Amino acid sequence: MYQEKEKLKRFVQGSHAAFEDIVLAYREPAIRFACHYVHDPYIAEDLVQDCFAYLYVYPWKYNFQASFKTFLFTLIRNKSIDYLRKKARRRECAEQEEDTSDRLRDTAPGPEQMVLDNENRHYWEQLLNGLSIEYKTALYMVDVEGMSPKEAAAVQGKTAAGFRVTLFRARKQLRTHAEKEGWHGKPEWH
Q: How many domains does the chain have?
A: 2
Mean pLDDT of the chain: 81
Taking the C-alpha atoms of residue 84 and residue 82, their distance in angstroms, rounded to an integer, is: 5
Q: Is the pLDDT at 140 greater than 60, yes or no? A: yes
Of the residues 46, 72, 99, which one is the last residue of a structural domain? 99
Q: Is the pLDDT at 190 greater than 50, yes or no? A: no
Domain contains 104 = no
Confidence (pLDDT) at 128: 78
Residue numbers of the domain that contains 89: 1-99
Of 166, 185, 40, 170, residue with least CA distance to 123: 185
Same domain, 120 and 90: no
Same domain, 12 and 83: yes
Higher-confidence position of 55 and 3: 55
Of the residues 99, 120, 136, which one is the last residue of a structural domain? 99
Confidence (pLDDT) at 44: 94
Contact 26, 69 (CB under 8 A): yes
pTM of model > 0.85? no
Same domain, 129 and 93: no
